[in-house]
A and B are shown apart, each in its own frame.
Chain A
Amino acid sequence: MPNESTVLKEEAAATENLGDPAWIRIRDLIYQVSGIYQAENKFYLLVGRANRRMKVVGARTPREYLDFLTARPNRESEMRNLLNEITIGETCLFRSLPQIDALRRVVIPSIAEAKKKMAFTKLRLWSAGCSTGEESYTLAMILLEEMQSSLKGWTFEIVATDLNDRSVAKAQEGVYNDYAVRNVPAEFMKKYFTKVGSDYRVADSVRTHITFSRLNMLDDSKMLFMRGLDVIFCCNVLIYFDGKSKTRTIQHFFNALMPNGYFFLGHSESLHGISEKFRLVHFPGATAYWKPIETISKAVTP
């Protein structure tokens, strides 16, 4: 897990060749393969992390490294290594505040209003590719707060799945270090965590709302059972899938969602060209994909 000083060192190293136009091409390639976009104002992050891979493979310049990603025999696995570097350490609780705000201030009110009309008072969320549980617990805490204010009398459940057994086990433990909880607002820390040695343990009142289990998203037979969800979060997971598997998984997500349901990807991850059924919607500082209420998609003829 990178700490502040390694991040600073990366930044310093990164500024050396930050202006190299090959970075733009590497950025575009990453986007094309994974849907993850690295804005130029955050290039130092990309460059810092790519520099680590460059050292490993022995590439001296970004241009040379581009070769490793496009022309060398192991290019696909190198791209995977690079994506790993880029997304590493991204998990922490309360990672993307704009997404949390969108969920709390726009998405949940909209879903709740529609559900209330049909006399439903339960929300179901899915944290797909939950890794070690940071996102799942964040969602649970946000919803618990809503249940105590705007959604009194409502209940909710969070389904959290990951391919990796060890991640699931770690998620179930629900114990995090300083670095993982650095973004958690103080009142949430007080309310939902207890200190265990130098770490923090999530309260049982939060845990009871989450079911962790192992799930392979490429297993169609398992994916078919996922139904009736209001919101799905699947951050920085699909980036490792090839085009076909991605399309198939997105189709499963679409089917799993209720009409008027929302699908969130990583904060700079896009579905462009993968699904025509979802509609891209914008919130302040965040985007998501929305499953329209009418399932017949509007025909747009040029």
Chain B
Amino acid sequence: MKTETLDRLRSRIVKIDAMPAIPVILRPLLHCLDQPAEQVNMNRIVELVSYDKSIAAQCMRMANSALFMRNTPAETVRSAVMSLGMWRVRDLLFSSSLSQVIPANRWVVEPAVFWRHSLGVALVSRKFAEMIDYPDPEKAYLAGLLHDIGVLVNCMVAPEEFRATIEKASRELIPLDEAEQVTLGFTHSDSGRILAEAWKIPSDIADAIELHHQIGDPERGGPLVALVHLSDLLCRMRDLGYGYYEPRQVDFANEPGWLYLLMKFPGMAEIDLARFTFSLDEYAREVSDLVATVFAS
């Protein structure tokens, strides 16, 4: 998108004062997780969880769900966090704090579908990153989780037009960004970029948010953008998409993002893509459990 249009969009968003506020725990959480896994401070995570009653309750509920089959029920936030494990708690914190970003009655898309897709892309991005030896799989996870955050902005900024956009996309079975371009004149990638800047999200993740649908020049965004772009496509081809059938065929090995990553990470040539695709069905279960926990209340 041209800078000029972005500026116009930015001023429009600011003017109507509709920019979603950053959730209180999000910034400390981002900070806390922006370091090597072994240095992440578990006490700090417990503290963040305890800070928000509804998130704490979600952790307890999930830890005590059948999925974890504990012998004795978790009674403290700490024991719940311990039995869930740091990464699952992180997923819960993110998705539930982000889902509080906009009031329940302002959602234009189905929240469960939105989170299913976002968490799916997060998991697939991380797995993909690990497979090609991308140096920071957790960053890939975050970029995947946040890649569609512009959808939240659209819900706030232009609810009626965005509702029409979603209807158009699912009626004509076209990609969301294509429909947005027609009905809104901007896409969730554009509005996501603006939100990312307002929230001071690390710049490479902001790039992934902005460019995940426009991979024309992969050099511009670098590997993280290509990773998120491909993971987004994979999820849409594996039942972790927008909730409607996209009648299309994707030839991953000839996607510009794939060819670009192949150049940067030659080990990628060894990937058995069919097998990777089949294994994605394993995430669907994990994602559904998480989404069910977040939206149980």
Contact = CB atoms under 8 A, between A and B. Distances in A.
Interface of A: 31, 37, 39-42, 101-102, 105-107, 109-110, 268, 270-273, 279-285, 287, 290, 298, 300, 302
A96 to B, nearest CB: 13
Contact of A270 (B233, B241, B278, B282): B278
Contacts of B247: 105-106, 109, 284
Interface of B: 233-234, 236-239, 241, 245-254, 259, 262, 266, 269, 272-275, 277-279, 281-282, 284-285
B278 A39 contact: yes
A39 B282 contact: yes
B251 A101 contact: no
Contact of A279 (B234, B251, B262): B251
B237 A41 contact: no
A285 B238 contact: yes
B253 A279 contact: yes
B272 A272 contact: yes
Contact of B277 (A42, A102, A287): A287
Contact of B273 (A31, A280, A283): A280
Contacts of A279: 251, 253-254
Contact of A284 (B246, B253, B262, B281): B246
B245 A270 contact: no
B237 A270 contact: no
Contacts of B238: 282, 284-285
Contact of A31 (B248, B266, B275): B275
A270 B247 CA distance: 22
A282 B277 CA distance: 9
A90 B165 CA distance: 41
Given A280-B273, A282-B237, A284-B239, A106 B249 contact: yes
A302 B245 CA distance: 35
B274 A287 contact: yes
B281 A42 contact: yes
Nearest to B238: A285
A270 B236 contact: no
A302 B269 contact: yes
Contacts of B259: 300
A72 B166 CA distance: 58
Contacts of A282: 233-234, 237-238, 249-252, 277
A283 B266 CA distance: 26
Nearest to A285: B239
Contacts of B273: 272, 280
A284 B236 contact: yes
Given A270-B272, A271-B274, A272-B272, A281 B250 contact: yes
B281 A41 contact: yes
Given A270-B275, A284-B241, A302 B251 contact: no
B281 A39 contact: yes
Contacts of B281: 39, 41-42
Among A101, A273, A302, the one with the most B-chain Cβ atoms within 10 Å of its Cβ is A302
Give me the 8 closest cross-chain CB pairs, A-B, nearest first.
Answer: A270-B274, A37-B278, A105-B247, A282-B237, A39-B281, A272-B272, A41-B285, A282-B250
Contact of B237 (A110, A273, A285): A285
Contacts of A42: 281
A280 B3 CA distance: 38
Nearest to A109: B247
Contacts of A273: 272
